[in-house]
Amino acid sequence: MTRLSRVLLAIASVLLLGAFLFPLWRIDLVAPQYPEGLGMLIRVNTVTGIKPNDLANINGLNHYIGMKPIEPTAIPELHIMPWIVAGLAAFGLLGAALGARKLLYGWLGGFVTLAVVGLIDFWRWEYDYGHNIDFEHAIIKVPGMTYQPPLIGTKQLLNFTAASWPALGTVCLGIAFAFGVAALLVARRRGANVKRASVAMAVAVAACAPQGPRAIADQGKSCDYCRMTISDERFGGQLITRKGKVYAFDAIECLASYYLQNAAAGDGSSIWVADFANPGRWVEAKNALFVRNDAHQSPMGLNLVALRHDADKAAAGQAQGTTLRWQEVLALVESHGRSSDPAEAAGVAR
Amino acid sequence: MSPLQLNRRVVVGAVGAVAIAGLVFACQATRSKPINLAAGDAASRVYIAPGQYDEFYSFLSGGFSGQVAVYGIPSGRLLKVIPVFSQNPENGYGYNDESKEMLQTTFGSIPWDDSHHPELSQTDGVPDGRWLFINANNTPRVARIDLTRFETDEILQIPNAAGGHASPFTTPNTKYIVSATRFSVPIGAKRDVPIASYKENFKGTLSFITADQPGKMDIAFQILMPGYNYDLGHAGKGPSEGWFFFTSYNSEGAYTKLEVNASQNDKDYVAAVNYKKAEECVASGKAKTMQADYDHNYTDPKSRIATTEKKTSVKLLDPRDCEGVVYYLPTPKSPHGVDVDPTGEYIVAGGKLATVIPVHSFTKLAKAIEAKQFDSTIDGIPVLKYDAILAGEVQKPGLGPLHTEFDGKGNAYTSMFISSEVVKWKLGTWEVLDRMPVYYSVGHIMIPGGDSKKPWGKYLVAMNKITKDRYLPTGPEMAQSAQLIDISGDKMKMLLDFPTIGEPHYAQALPATLIKDKSVKFHSLAENTNPHAVRAESETNISRTGKTVHVEMVAIRSHFAPDNIEGVQVGDTVKFHVTNVEQDWDILHGFAVLGANTSELILQPGETRTLTWVPKDEGIYPFYCTDFCSALHQEMQGYIRVSPAGSNVPLAANISPKAKAQMAGAK
């Protein structure tokens, strides 16, 4: 093994320890009565609530439908998993120290095996959790209904929407694997493979980068501020939180109003507006130009559209309008005060 | 200004003109319909869409309801009623074993009082959202409400006092809150005296109460005052920090038909108290320690059990023994409110019967004291010359000026009880700028932070005593009312009427952002130190001590444990100690049992409350959850069996096997 390869394997092994620091998986449950959500974090050695009493509250609710309570100490995998991950890390460090390529192969093979077995086992646990219902004592029985949470993605379980996603611990494991693959690519010689190794790592890093904007108009989505259905995306905007939750808006003023009313929205979230001149393209609000032109009726009545370039003004038929920046739009919406409130705004649109 | 706004002004002006004409006309003919003075865009200004929050919390006293009501501003939506001095069967406050000591006094337990003035705690003269204080007018007391839980935690009785009206106004860092006597009475050992010996024997007191530590409210000292009626007070700030101002009337010393006999003198007094000086005199032993019995009630936040501490003495300071501690400022005609502007320079007094609003200058006051510009001395209190301290008078403000608040932009707003209006005037020039009629008979007005160093001068709330035709009629008694006025522009704009609980006597308000994120969501079960708390069904218990049966129960969605109890006998007292073991926001349970001579329990998540029940006859009595908690709330019930006295039915309950084993082990 080359020196670089050994270093990469050592880094990969140390990264595995991220599984001890961060949760591996996260299941969020949201219901009408639980707008703030309940949730659990699956860690390498235990299951905890996202908020201090979430697990107890989930167990309390589950007794209605006959689900078994989650008792982390009774789940055998949680006793074994820390040893497996720690063992793999030790094995990798040993491989890096000895520089033996066979150990690197073994590390990678072991990693893949454990990942596959782990995911299958997790799915089986979820299956058992969702299907092993005590119907004799269940209070609410829905024929044919089971309550298995999704492995990845979202699913409706009675009044709860369950969302299950890998968490930071799993991201660490993924990056560790990418480093391991990189170590394999440069194991024999330097040169060209270094480039491939960097690509592998870049891919790993890119996978962790925050999500960009998505189309919002085509799914019958409604505006997260005024609740009207988003039919025309060209006036729209979206706010993507640090955690990747997307809030969609049918108009720039709805986005601005939401932003102004939710101070926390500014915390690490990215704000996007539709490029009026180029349908389907999105511009970050701070980089966009806003044009106010009463000849053009936006859904909420302030008649704002966003553009990427000044040159697009004419193309969008907006040559006459005044140009604003994002901060000025916020000030305009704020000074417009409550008249951009949902009810009145809806009245205007009617 | 856009043409639209101009039009709106014109319209409002025209409507106003028509309204005034209408008032004149109303002298000759009765109106058929109340006048609509609302600004054109009023609806959108007060509309808070479903799921959105108000900008301000406002706390309106309930007056004779003994409570505090919390409304969102600008919507006027009622958010909560906080019981303080009155029992509240709605949630068991003052009824259950844990909270009933809150209403304890040296007169015994008192189920009611008259709560007048809410006062927010301050830091550097600005409301800080830690606590709200409020006074009891009838049996003088002050209470502290914790603003993380919106609950009354502490009540201190005031001895040597009758009518705790000028209370509980705060000093700029809430070192003290005050309580002054609306009624003068004989003080000390000799209290059985002829009423006609008023001038000789009746005295007032000004109490300074330490207030900056929960659980430690106490009377630092009282100042003995001539037998006038002390009505309202406010602390100095900025240059006047260290001074406290109290209005008084009845310098005539009347003891009968006060409406005539206490309205004779041209001038009564504002008492200016140098409380720093009072502290020095008390520290140097010039105050007398006097025997006085009073109660101090405090709810420990962990056990949530109220206990009463009996106090037995108080320090009483006579101004004759402490030169320079009090001065009297002559003020026209039975002054009511006394309000200090945000800069601390101007002291505005509302003379109920005066034709002007007099404003005293603190700078002039300090100079007059230095130059000894005194008219006379009353019981060791120098009376300053009116002309030497006067900053100016607001001429023709209206009839019956009572209370003044400030917008922080150099303007003052005064309520006019008799002419039923709010008058805006300018500090310094004393010119009247605007008037807004209010319906009807306004008492206090409130601007968020409007009595502090930093008013949030966007809205004004007028609190009216009489509503008559303002709402759909509800018989002879109509709800009293608050009116929301926009004061952000040059002219006041009427936005909203909303009816209130009891009498909205006075109010305080502050931006919601100062407290909303500190709100407690549930009480931690792990920290619950109530001796009868049970944290899980496995800990439930039933036991007998003589004729008392203790049931330690759990309430959780959607059942009680235990829910079948036997072995209770006629003649027993049953204590249901119920713990709501939920650890989830806003998941409450209730508990009520058939025939109980008390209110239900309402149990916040994580809290333990006790209902005492004395069954009078044998039989089976159901109990149930009274707070709709869950889909199977209606199933949340149980039975308790009562047998005749001397029956051999053993004490039993269907608690968990583990709890049974623990109980067996304990025996």
What is the rounded CA–CA span in Å between residue A5 and residue A3? 5
Q: Is A142 on the interface with B (CB under 8 A)?
A: no
What is the rounded CA–CA span in Å between residue B210 and residue B220? 6
Checking if the pLDDT of A348 tops 60, the result is no
* CB of B244 closer than 8 Å to CB of B171: yes
* CB of B85 closer than 8 Å to CB of B66: yes
Q: Is B8 on the interface with A (CB under 8 A)?
A: no
The pLDDT of residue B204 is 97
The pLDDT of residue A228 is 82
* CB of B255 closer than 8 Å to CB of B198: yes
Q: Is A139 on the interface with B (CB under 8 A)?
A: yes
Checking if the pLDDT of B33 tops 80, the result is no
The pLDDT of residue A205 is 64
CA distances from A255 to A268, A333, B47, B290 (A): 16, 10, 19, 66
The pLDDT of residue A206 is 61
Cβ density class B320-342: b for 16+ within 10 Å, e for less = eebeebbbbbbbbbbbbbbbbbb
Q: Which residues contact A152 (CB under 8 A, 6 or more apart)?
A: A164, A165, A166
- Contact check, Cβ <8 Å, A344/B47: yes
Nearest CA to A346 out of A258, A282, A269, A250 is that of A250
* CB of A187 closer than 8 Å to CB of A246: no
What is the rounded CA–CA span in Å between residue B551 and residue A223? 52
| Residue B524 distance to chain A (closest CA, Å) | 10
Of B47, B558, B582, the CB nearest to A341: B47
Q: Is B519 on the interface with A (CB under 8 A)?
A: no
State percent of chain A over pLDDT 70.
84
What is the rounded CA–CA span in Å between residue B433 and residue B346? 18
End-to-end Cα distance, chain A? 71
Picking from A29, A294, A341 by the largest number of B CB atoms within 10 A of its own CB, the best residue to mutate is A341
- Contact check, Cβ <8 Å, B631/A339: no
Nearest CA to B622 out of B553, B548, B547, B565 is that of B565
The pLDDT tens digits of the residues spanning B385-427 come to: 999 999 999 999 999 999 999 999 999 999 999 999 999 999 9
The pLDDT of residue A192 is 59
Q: Is B611 on the interface with A (CB under 8 A)?
A: no
* CB of B437 closer than 8 Å to CB of B423: no
Residue of B nearest to A62 (CA): B557
A31: which chain B residues are within 8 Å (Cβ-Cβ)? none
Residue of A nearest to B47 (CA): A338
DSSP states of A266-305: GSS-EEEEEBTTSTT-EEEGGG-EEEE-TTS--TTSS-EE
Longest CA pairwise span in chain B (Å): 89
DSSP states of A221-247: -B-TTT--B---GGG-EEEE-TT--EE
B52: which chain A residues are within 8 Å (Cβ-Cβ)? 261, 341
Chains A–B, number of C-beta pairs less than 8 Å apart: 35
Average pLDDT over residues B232-237: 98
The pLDDT of residue B41 is 87
State percent of chain B over pLDDT 90.
90
Checking if the pLDDT of A350 tops 50, the result is no
Secondary structure tally for chain B: helices H, strands E: 8, 45
Q: Which residues contact B360 (CB under 8 A, 6 or more apart)?
A: B270, B329, B331, B346, B347, B348, B349, B389, B390, B391
Pairing label, strands B243-249, B229-235: antiparallel
The H or E element containing residue B51 is none
The pLDDT tens digits of the residues spanning B526-555 come to: 999 999 999 999 999 999 999 999 999 999
- Most confident of the ranges A31-40, A227-236, B638-647: B638-647
The pLDDT of residue A345 is 43
Average pLDDT over residues B638-660: 91
Number of neighbouring beta carbons within 10 Å of residue B544 = 14
| β-bridge mates for residue B406, sequence order | B412
Domains of chain B: 42-518 (2.130.10.10), 525-666 (2.60.40.420)
Checking if the pLDDT of B89 tops 90, the result is yes
A234 vs B311, higher pLDDT: B311
Q: Is A140 on the interface with B (CB under 8 A)?
A: yes
Picking from B44, B523, B632 by the largest number of A CB atoms within 10 A of its own CB, the best residue to mutate is B44
Of B44, B582, B632, the CB nearest to A339: B44
Average pLDDT over residues B266-279: 97
| Sign of the CA dihedral running A270, A274, A279, A283 | negative
Which phi and psi angles does B566 have, rounded to 5°? -135, 165
Q: Is B44 on the interface with A (CB under 8 A)?
A: yes
Q: Is B529 on the interface with A (CB under 8 A)?
A: no
What is the rounded CA–CA span in Å between residue A159 and residue B621? 36
The pLDDT of residue B481 is 95
Number of neighbouring beta carbons within 10 Å of residue B158 = 27
- List the Cα angle A151/A155/A160 in 5-degree steps: 120
CA atoms within 13 A on the CB side of A104: 27
Nearest CA to A164 out of A111, A209, A221, A126 is that of A126
Residue B581, SS3? coil
B5 vs B209, higher pLDDT: B209
Q: Is A56 on the interface with B (CB under 8 A)?
A: yes
* CB of B243 closer than 8 Å to CB of B235: yes
Checking if the pLDDT of B121 tops 80, the result is yes
| Residue A140 distance to chain B (closest CA, Å) | 10
The pLDDT of residue A254 is 87
What is the rounded CA–CA span in Å between residue B415 and residue B336? 11
What is the rounded CA–CA span in Å between residue B166 and residue B177? 10
* CB of B352 closer than 8 Å to CB of B229: no
Q: What DSSP state is assigned to residue B15?
A: H
- Contact check, Cβ <8 Å, A341/B585: no
Average pLDDT over residues B434-450: 96
Residue A339: pLDDT band (50, 70, 90) is very low
| Residue A303 distance to chain B (closest CA, Å) | 18
The pLDDT of residue A344 is 47
| Residue B428 distance to chain A (closest CA, Å) | 31
- Contact check, Cβ <8 Å, A60/B585: no
B11 vs B628, higher pLDDT: B628
A343: which chain B residues are within 8 Å (Cβ-Cβ)? 47, 49
What is the rounded CA–CA span in Å between residue B428 and residue A158? 67
B663 vs B186, higher pLDDT: B186
The pLDDT of residue B197 is 97
Nearest CA to B591 out of B97, B233, B184, B124 is that of B97
- Contact check, Cβ <8 Å, B631/A56: no
- Most confident of the ranges A79-93, A114-128, B14-28, B130-144: B130-144
- Contact check, Cβ <8 Å, A53/B584: yes
What is the rounded CA–CA span in Å between residue A323 and residue B130? 45
Checking if the pLDDT of B109 tops 90, the result is yes
The pLDDT of residue B5 is 45
Average pLDDT over residues A120-141: 87
The pLDDT tens digits of the residues spanning A254-298 come to: 888 888 877 655 566 788 898 888 888 888 888 888 887 776 677
Which phi and psi angles does B129 have, rounded to 5°? 80, 15
Residue type, B365: L
- Contact check, Cβ <8 Å, B47/A60: no
Nearest CA to A298 out of A215, A237, A222 is that of A237
Checking if the pLDDT of B23 tops 60, the result is no
Average pLDDT over residues B89-109: 98
The pLDDT tens digits of the residues spanning A299-335 come to: 667 778 888 887 777 766 666 667 888 888 888 887 7
The pLDDT of residue B32 is 53
CA distances from A36 to A10, A12, A313, B49, B54 (A): 41, 36, 42, 19, 19
Peptide bond into B74 cis (omega under 30): yes
The pLDDT of residue A267 is 65
| Residue A257 distance to chain B (closest CA, Å) | 12
> Average per-residue pLDDT in chain A?
83
| Sign of the CA dihedral running B245, B251, B253, B254 | negative
Nearest CA to A95 out of A31, A5, A33 is that of A5
Nearest CA to A330 out of A259, A241, A249 is that of A259
DSSP states of B172-232: TTSSEEEEE-SB-EE-SS-----GGGHHHHEEEEEEEEE-SSTT--EEEEEEEEES-EEEE
The pLDDT tens digits of the residues spanning A248-261 come to: 888 888 888 888 87
Residue of A nearest to B586 (CA): A33
- Contact check, Cβ <8 Å, B44/A57: no
Residue of B nearest to A38 (CA): B584
Average pLDDT over residues B618-637: 96
Nearest CA to A89 out of A17, A178, A187, A174 is that of A17
Average pLDDT over residues A172-200: 80
The pLDDT of residue A319 is 67
* CB of B158 closer than 8 Å to CB of B135: no
Q: Is B583 on the interface with A (CB under 8 A)?
A: yes
Checking if the pLDDT of B139 tops 60, the result is yes
> Average per-residue pLDDT in chain B?
93
Residue A166, SS3? strand
The pLDDT tens digits of the residues spanning B148-199 come to: 999 999 999 999 999 999 999 999 999 999 999 999 999 988 999 999 999 9
* CB of B211 closer than 8 Å to CB of B170: yes
Q: Is B52 on the interface with A (CB under 8 A)?
A: yes
Of A60, A139, A341, the CB nearest to B44: A341
- Contact check, Cβ <8 Å, A344/B557: no
The pLDDT of residue B4 is 43
Taking each helix axis from N to C terminus, what angle separates A3-16 and A168-185, rounded to the nearest 10 degrees? 170
What is the rounded CA–CA span in Å between residue B558 and residue B637? 9
What is the rounded CA–CA span in Å between residue B237 and residue B243? 8
Residue of A nearest to B51 (CA): A225
The pLDDT of residue B317 is 98
The pLDDT tens digits of the residues spanning B197-213 come to: 999 999 999 999 999 99
What is the rounded CA–CA span in Å between residue A206 and residue A222? 30
* CB of A255 closer than 8 Å to CB of A238: yes
- Contact check, Cβ <8 Å, A57/B583: yes
CA distances from A61 to A32, A68, B38, B225, B638 (A): 14, 11, 49, 63, 21
Q: Which residues contact A248 (CB under 8 A, 6 or more apart)?
A: A216, A221, A223, A224, A230, A236, A237, A238
Nearest CA to A248 out of A221, A212, A266 is that of A221
Checking if the pLDDT of A78 tops 60, the result is yes
Residue B469, SS3? helix
The pLDDT of residue B2 is 44
| Residue A57 distance to chain B (closest CA, Å) | 7
